[in-house]
Amino acid sequence: SSFWSLIFVAMAGCQLLVESSKFMAIEASGYKLISLLRGQTFTQTIHQEVGFFDRQENNVGYLTGVLSSDVLLVKTGSAGNALAMTQGLAAVVTGEGANKKAEKVEDRDTAAFVMSEALNGIRIVSAFGLEPHFTERYQSVLLRTLKEEERAAALLGFFWGFSQGAQYALQALIFWYGGQIVSSEGKNPLEIMQTTFALMFAGSSIGQAVLFSSDAGKAEKASERIFCILDRSTVELDFLRFDLLTFGVHPSALFLSPPRSAVALALKFLSSVERSAEGVSGNWKKTGIASQTTCSLAAVPLCFESQPSKIDSRDTGGKVIDAKDFSGLVRVEKVRFRYPERPNIPVYQELSFEMKPGETVALVGASGCGKSTVVQLLERFYDLENSSGVETGASSDPSGPRTADATREVELPRNGRITLDGIDIREINIQSLRSLIGLVGQEPVLFSMSVADNIRYAKPEATLEEVVHAAKLANADSFISTFPDGYDTQVGKGGSQLSGGQKQRIAIARALLTQPRMLILDEATSALDAESERIVQATLDNVIATKERVTLMIAHRLSTVRDADKIVVLSNEDKRGSQVVEVGTHDELMAIPDGVYRHLVKVAEGGK
């Protein structure tokens, strides 16, 4: 008995090495799968057109959940269950430990914070082409986390191997103790063997229950939600290629670069195993030992057909316009538009106006008349959905109040078009288009980093001298210089360490850093207090006065547009979509009896 006991001890040592190596390999591959899925899903998400984020089901909380809960479920349903298929009861102990370790790592990293920050400011991210920078930032977080998880996998692998080897050690102890009983007490060896194997088979039966407590069903649904986002691409992703299976690459390679088909087939198989053993699984879960990993998104409908993103900043097609070659002539011609999520509500009814080089144009109108929608269309956050036909009509040249002289015959798409120097913006490379525009929104979007980095985000290669110059143009250098750390001062989450006026001036500096040929001010002072508004407005007046660029002002407070070269008045009185009803300077429009602009000014002044 001593000899055979030593044999079992040797087997326990071998089991320790083999199981430790196997566990480390499978866990490491699972963590690589998590990093790969998260990285690709984040990249796809941040490159979606803005309309994607307008949908109620695509809120920030849901998308963040896809990258946290769902990706973990896919790991549990693939690499994790591959391990569970060959293991016993010890999987419960170490598996729970692995889950808790993963949760701790998830709590420590900032992946969710980076994604939340990017999605909450998605319009600024898109307008300034910041998608690559946030992708790189997110990938660096994933890489740091992956290294931590690989170290954790090594430690867990040892304990897993120890737990598996302990089974043989226990059997060695049973054989040795049984031999002692046989030799000293004269017990029947058959009875000893019956007792030993009864214990071994009982333990094995309990361990088999782990097989049927997998999360394969949840993982299958989670993978559908993940690929619903991954499929929305206008560019080819290496991650989604089927080359591995086509050319017969060994399945072990799937852990490093798994194509969708392999993941889906694996999860389908695991799910069918789970369903076939529903009774055992149900009994096991009643004990309360089932996996604690839950899917908070289970109630969200799955997306089985995902339309590609229509506007992707990674698209390299289209005409590239050099800023030096753009004169600044902008035409909005007979535009009709409805938001994709509100198809029954027309925003514009053949909207037409023109902005000339160096001109400052103000858009005014009652609340809800679509002033800010012009900004969304100029930035190509949305496209005009046009059918194949065209209309032949006069292009309006609204050079005076209540006038629209037909000066030229042009062929226009049914829903109109927007042109820069005569080029339809849909024919312009999306990155080139947005590089021509500097956007300052109503709510300044700052990221959790230094003042200099927030300004430099518009132009990552900018030197500190360029950053300071832009800050001076925005009248921000004066208060930045008073900070103890100057331009290295951390602004906090969302710029929480700064006042509203300070945040807005930093946002203006960011917009000016790229020396844009078109500056868009979307109600840039409406959210500020009176003193901050005065300072920021003075800054904007100085910027506009240079006449170095065409400027579009979306005005909420009419006092800010009096000096504009042209004021375009929108109205949607008949509820069939807004259109231009008056065009002119402040004095010209105030001279129109019963004019819309005149009425708006009187209301703003309290009826005077």
Q: Give the per-residue pLDDT at 14.
A: 74
DSSP 319: B
Task: Give 385's pLDDT tier (boundaries 50, 70, 90).
Answer: confident
User: What CA–CA distance (Å, rounded) separates 96 from 258?
Assistant: 25
Q: Give the per-residue pLDDT at 46.
A: 75
Q: Give the per-residue pLDDT at 330.
A: 95
- Residue 582's nearest CA partner among 401, 353, 365, 355 is 401
DSSP 439: E
Q: Give the per-residue pLDDT at 402.
A: 46
Phi and psi at 418, nearest 5°, equal -125, 130
- The owner of tokens 């042109």 is 419
**Which of the pair, 12 or 472, is modelled with greater confidence?**
472
Q: Give the per-residue pLDDT at 184.
A: 72
User: What CA–CA distance (Å, rounded) separates 458 from 88?
Assistant: 55
Residues 338-373: pLDDT tens digits? Answer: 988 888 899 998 999 999 999 999 999 998 899 989
- In this model, does residue 467 exceed pLDDT 80? yes
- In this model, does residue 264 exceed pLDDT 80? no
Query: With pLDDT > 70 as the criterion, what percentage of the chain qualifies?
Result: 57
Query: With pLDDT > 90 as the criterion, what percentage of the chain qualifies?
Result: 24
Q: Give the per-residue pLDDT at 490.
A: 93
**Contact (Cβ atoms closer than 8 angstroms) between residue 182 and residue 176:** no
Q: Give the per-residue pLDDT at 163.
A: 62
Task: Give 518's pLDDT tier (boundaries 50, 70, 90).
Answer: very high
- In this model, does residue 384 exceed pLDDT 90? no
**Is the Cα dihedral 196, 199, 203, 205 positive or negative?**
positive
Residues 137-169: pLDDT tens digits? Answer: 777 777 777 676 667 666 666 666 666 666 666
Task: Give the side-chain half-sphere CA count within 13 A for 148.
Answer: 17
* CA-based R_g, the chain, Å: 32
- The owner of tokens 């110059």 is 469
Q: Which CATH superfamily is domain 315-436+519-528+552-608 in?
A: P-loop containing nucleotide triphosphate hydrolases (3.40.50.300)
Core vs surface per residue 132-145: b (16+ CB within 10 A) or e: ebbbebbbebbeeb
* pLDDT-wise least confident of 44-53, 269-278, 323-332, 570-579: 269-278
> Mean per-residue pLDDT for 204-223?
51
DSSP 450: B
> Mean per-residue pLDDT for 83-96?
41
Kindly report the average pLDDT of the chain as a whole number. Answer: 71
Residue ranges matching CATH 3.40.50.300 in the chain: 315-436+519-528+552-608
Residues paired with 391 in a beta bridge: 412
